[in-house]
Amino acid sequence: MKKDEVELMFEARCKMFLIFDPTRPEIKPWLKEARIILEPGPNLNRSLYVDKDDIPTADGAKAIIQCFIAGISAAITHAHQNGYRDESENLRHVINDLQRHFTAVKDADTTDY
């Protein structure tokens, strides 16, 4: 890092709660709830990213999306480098999952922050 540069950090976490019926293993688990938590780094003004109830602001929502994109990109690269799945195949899989989950989150009981 250069002398005048400052490192900024965000941590975004998502917890998924799924419903699965073990008596019907042919049916995939479905999303019941997704909870998202954003933690701005110590050198950031927290109130710009989350409100007093820890609900993300508009800038907080952008930070969450950028964290998840960075994480997905890192996971795809890691899988490719370790021979688990080709990058382009994995990216197509992620895009399909995003489309499917986008609908599932809308249909879930709640999406909490």
For tokens 């820890």, the residue is 54
Assess if residue 17 is contained within a domain: yes
> Is 28 inside a domain boundary?
yes
Domain membership of residue 64 (yes or no) is yes
Confidence category of residue 77, pLDDT binned at 50, 70, 90: very high
With a cut of 70, say whether residue 54 has pLDDT above it. yes
- pLDDT tens profile 59-68: 999 999 999 9
User: What count of residues does the chain have?
Assistant: 113
- Residue 112: pLDDT over 80: no
C-alpha dist (Å) from residue 70 to 16, 40, 52, 73, 97: 19, 15, 27, 5, 17
- Domain count along the chain: 1
**Whether 7 contacts 1, CB under 8 Å:** yes
Helix (H, G, I), strand (E, B) or coil at 90: helix
The pLDDT value recorded for residue 102 is: 76
Domain carrying residue 69: 10-112
The radius of gyration of the chain's CA atoms, rounded to the nearest angstrom, is: 17
Whether 4 maps to a domain, the answer reads no
pLDDT tens-digit profile of 97-110?
888 877 766 665 55
Question: Is a pLDDT exceeding 90 seen at residue 69?
Answer: yes
Question: What are the C-alpha distances in Å from 93 to residues 14, 37, 109?
Answer: 19, 25, 25
User: Is it the case that residue 28 has pLDDT exceeding 90?
Assistant: no
Cα–Cα distance measured from residue 60 to residue 25, given in angstroms and rounded to the nearest whole number:
38
Residue 73 located in a structural domain: yes
